[in-house]
Amino acid sequence: MIESNATLYARLGGYDAIAAVADNLIARLTTDAQLGRFWRHRGDDGLQREKQLLIDFLCASAGGPLFYTGRDMSTTHRGMGISAHDWRIFIGHVRNTLEHFEVPATEKEEVIGFIETTKAEIVEE
């Protein structure tokens, strides 16, 4: 049993669970009819690096022992033309991924909450 004062990282199942979520989410995003355009013409190495940065970001944001060493969200996404509509689709994929892994409602909303804090830095339109 996980302590009630455990970090979100621990309550989500730690690194391996978060890595599985990232795998599932990246697969959804790259194959989405609307969002897939952001990953076209990316090599496998670039996709693997992006996935690792996502894992690091999720782990660090959830209170885990990893550091996110990527660029800030504004720099990373500047010029991509990410719209509010794109963001809603993205958040839908995040929710569907968390539901796929049967993440409890409290933890699911905490994850969505810290992801939502990045919206202003990512959405351009």
Kindly state whether residue 26 falls inside one of the protein's structural domains.
yes
The helix (H) or strand (E) run that includes residue 20 is helix 14-31
d(C-alpha 76, C-alpha 23), whole Å: 20
* Per-residue pLDDT, 2: 58
* Per-residue pLDDT, 116: 97
Kindly state whether residue 58 falls inside one of the protein's structural domains.
yes
Kindly state whether residue 5 falls inside one of the protein's structural domains.
no
Kindly state whether residue 23 falls inside one of the protein's structural domains.
yes
d(C-alpha 42, C-alpha 47), whole Å: 7
Domain hosting residue 101, numbered range: 12-122
Kindly state whether residue 98 falls inside one of the protein's structural domains.
yes
* Per-residue pLDDT, 125: 74
Kindly state whether residue 52 falls inside one of the protein's structural domains.
yes
The helix/strand/coil state of 51 is helix
* Per-residue pLDDT, 5: 83
pLDDT in tens, the chain (125 residues): 556 689 999 999 999 999 999 999 999 999 999 999 999 988 999 999 999 999 999 999 999 998 899 999 999 999 999 999 999 999 999 999 999 999 999 999 999 999 999 999 999 97
Kindly state whether residue 6 falls inside one of the protein's structural domains.
no
* Per-residue pLDDT, 4: 65
Kindly state whether residue 3 falls inside one of the protein's structural domains.
no
Please give the model's pTM, rounded to 2 decimal places: 0.91
CATH number (domain holding residue 83): 1.10.490.10
The total domain count for the chain is: 1
* Per-residue pLDDT, 30: 96
